[in-house]
Amino acid sequence: MAITNRLPLLPTTEIEQDAFCRTENELTSLPLELESQISVQWQKIPEDYYPLDSSELEERISAAKRRLGSSLLILGHHYQRDEVIKFADFRGDSFKLAQQAVAQKSAEYVVFCGVHFMAETADILTDQNQRVILPNLAAGCSMADMAPTEDVTDCWDDLTEILRNGIPEILPVTYMNSTAAIKALCGKNGGIVCTSSNAQRALEWSFSQAQRVVFFPDEHLGRNTGLKMGIPLEKMIVWNPFKPLGGHTPEAIQNAKLILWQGRCSVHTRFTASQIEKARIAISGLNVVVHPECPMETVAAADYVGSTEVINKVVSEAPAGSSWAIGTEISLVNRIAAENPDKTVFCLDPVVCPCTTMYRIHPAYLAWVLEGIEAGSINNQIIVDGQTRQDARIALDSMLTLV
């Protein structure tokens, strides 16, 4: 048994989550020399990029993109700021963008405007001759950071030690929002990767082969999916990596059907059932749609639950004049509102809090990596090592059979 009884330490990405929060609904990009004064981790780049304003950066990015032509593919996650997303050849959630990277085989350079685990996944799925680039290496993910490889490995070792009756007692499932190393652990042990849109199918697939599932790293997505499948709460336990056996007895582990890693999304846990209640009082006939990374009380109070792709689709296809409160990242909410002027669309959280790691993809970083490519200097290439790539690919390929 792994010896763990240490004090919890929050990832830096979690501590910094409130850094960009503001009360006014305005997220216009400032020159990097001003934004970098915010006390978060920033990757250092050449000084001449810091004073450039939005118009100068737009001109330089557009010119570099034009000159690089078909050798370049820019992918923009839904949570990116508008000043970056405007240059994306494709926009979507992490899985949809990884699929686009695979499909665009003529692109030698894939610039992923997202966070680190997304670029890793793209590198695993793309051809070896394609180079995946993350504009800012400080763009991590607090949820992924809550599942360090050593802690997850200890958890898996403990579980397999307790559950070893010669039949598949447990399978590991990891959400896309995890490191390549965690995906590789799942691949090596017969497990699978899932997205927020196919989590139920991934769990159904897993339960067809094993009695139990351990789900990394988002307890809320795991719990909400389990409840949707009819798994009672008493058959779910949360694994606390800072306690021996996750804080449970061997008997409790043997009695569990779904073991949830203690992790969360810093953005989606801000949305509450009380926010929904207040919004419904303020607006008659309000529709509420939230992401399944929200706590179960929030999900239970909403009308619709779904991935970023689902949220976008539900609101876009809704009738004119309808009102929508959305529980997901503010950059996407603002974009949906702008693209649906015939509807009332707003964010459930009255405080504007973008994903602080995603928001670090400032246009200056995009300009820097594109101009670096032109100059023959590949900045911030993301390379997953061979064995990790091979094992993670097994879990990802299993997922691809579900969609």
Q: Above 70 in pLDDT, residue 26?
A: no
Considering only residues 51 and 7, tell me which one the structure prediction assigns the higher pLDDT: 51
pLDDT value, residue 7? 47
pLDDT value, residue 318? 98
Share of the chain above pLDDT 90, in %: 79
Same fold: 12-141+357-385 with 268-347: yes
Superfamily name with CATH number, domain 12-141+357-385: NadA-like (3.40.50.10800)
The predicted model gives 172-181 an average pLDDT of 96
The predicted model gives 101-122 an average pLDDT of 93
pLDDT value, residue 166? 57
298-323 confidence digits (pLDDT tens):
999 999 999 999 999 999 999 999 99
pTM: 0.90
Q: Above 70 in pLDDT, residue 20?
A: no
31-82 confidence digits (pLDDT tens):
999 988 887 889 999 999 999 999 999 999 999 999 999 999 999 999 999 9
Q: Above 50 in pLDDT, residue 232?
A: yes
pLDDT value, residue 167? 61
259-290 confidence digits (pLDDT tens):
999 999 989 999 999 999 999 999 999 999 99
The predicted model gives 327-346 an average pLDDT of 95
pLDDT value, residue 5? 52
- Is-cis flag, bond preceding 11, omega within 30? no
- What CATH topology corresponds to 268-347? Rossmann fold (3.40.50)
Instruction: Provide φ and ψ at 209, rounded to 5°.
Output: -115, -15
Q: What are the domain boundaries of the chain? A: 12-141+357-385, 144-266+387-400, 268-347
Q: 144-266+387-400: which CATH number, 3.30.300.170, 3.30.2130.30, 3.40.140.10, 3.40.50.10800?
A: 3.40.50.10800
pLDDT value, residue 77? 93
pLDDT value, residue 191? 97
Q: Above 70 in pLDDT, residue 224?
A: yes
Handedness of CA 115, 116, 117, 123 (dihedral sign): positive
Contact between 353 and 378 under an 8 Å Cβ cutoff? The reply is: no
